[in-house]
Structure 1
Amino acid sequence: MRNFFETTPDCEIVTTRIFEFADSLVFKAWREPDHLKKWWGPEGFTNTFHAFDFSEGGMWDFTMHGPEKGNYHNVVEFLRIEEPRLIAWKRHSQPLFNVQATFEALQDDRTRLTFKMVFDAAAECDKLKKFVVDKNEENFDRLQKELEIMAHQ
């Protein structure tokens, strides 16, 4: 899959995982807000969606609620959607970065999901990398649980 954003390795954080589900189901977990709000964010977080327009140019406005304290307002704009292969967005809230999520169909209904956070500067990327890497893994753990539920519906 090509890169939607111009980047260099020192300006990106990449998380990849293979899920034992078809790409259409994995993509659906991102496309449908009723599923997305259940798994988005690190362990213990919940979400309130204020707007979710899953279309190119559409906005996703939401608040992530931390398990102990803190509410984190997020606004992103969907730049490119190629179902079921690509979702690219730009964050309009701090910290600023872009995201490219790619969904690669593998044999036997498996999907390689690659989540790439792209920063303008290596220093900004380095500042967040020390805690984002583990949190992205927690996010994928939560996605795994939601996919297991979805597969049995």
Structure 2
Amino acid sequence: MSRNAIVSRVEGERVLVLERIFDAPRELVFQMFKEPEHLKRWWGPRGWEVPVCHIDFRPEGVWHYCMKCVDQNQGEFYGMESWGKGVYEEIDEPNRIVYTDYFSDAEGNANAEMPSTRVTLEFIDQEGRTKLVNRAEYVSAEALKTVMDMGMLQGITETWDRLEERLNELK
């Protein structure tokens, strides 16, 4: 597996598993998901930035953020804002983060029209490199199809490419 490749598979009908190896120590990769100043530099697909990122990094704490399209070449998406909210369930530093991810509004109210996702991130040490495993459990097969149809796989690929670039800046 090339270190830039995301390996994806569907378990059952409603769980999407994504894996990628990063050439960086596990503690550093974990840090990228914990601190707003890091997330602001890599979260989201290319052409999007994160002008708002608040994190209360503890079980029952909330991560509330806004992604905004700043790339005029993205046509109708230019200027669009997409708000999200994560509620942490479990944090085992530097091994694992479990949270529920919601589409939200600027005030942090979950959007009931859009599917929520229970996300488990595992950070596996591989002799100085890190295998990141993202296990996303959706409420239904339809919910998984909805986010796949929205281009989620391309978005996560670009997001993890940006994460790799950020890690390379810091190493």
Unaligned runs of 5+ in 1: 1-6
1:8, distance to aligned residue in structure 2 (A): 4.7
Q: Could you list the structure 1 runs, at least 4 aligned residues long, displaced by more than 4 angstroms after superposition.
A: none
Report the identity percentage. 26
Distance 1:50 1:104, change over 3 A: closer
Contact 1:13 1:129 in 2 (8 A): no
- State the distance in 1 between where 2:84 and 2:140 align: 20
Residue correspondence of structure 1 range 36-115 to structure 2 within 5 A: 36-67=39-70, 68-93=78-103, 94-107=114-127, 109-115=128-134
Larger relative contact order, structure 1 or 2 (CA cutoff 8 Å, min sep 6): 1
Among 2, 18, 29, the residue aligned to 1:26: 29
Give the TM-score, by structure 1 length.
0.87
User: Paired residue for 1:135?
Assistant: 155
Q: Deviations over 1:63-114 (max 9, x none)?
A: 110232310111111111100111111124333111111100012x111001
Change (3 A) 1:62 1:142: same
CA contact (8 A) 2:102 2:116 kept: yes
RMSD of the TM alignment (CA)?
Answer: 1.6
2:166 to 110, 121, 146: 146
Higher mean C-alpha deviation, range 51-60 or range 64-73:
64-73
**What is the TM-score when the length of structure 2 is the normalising length?**
0.78
Q: Residue 143 of structure 1: SS of its match in structure 2?
A: helix
Gaps in structure 2 of 5+ consecutive residues: 1-9, 71-77, 104-113
Q: SS of the residue aligned with 1:41?
A: coil
Question: Helix, strand or coil: the match of 2:121?
Answer: strand
Q: Decide which moves more: 7-16 or 127-136.
A: 7-16
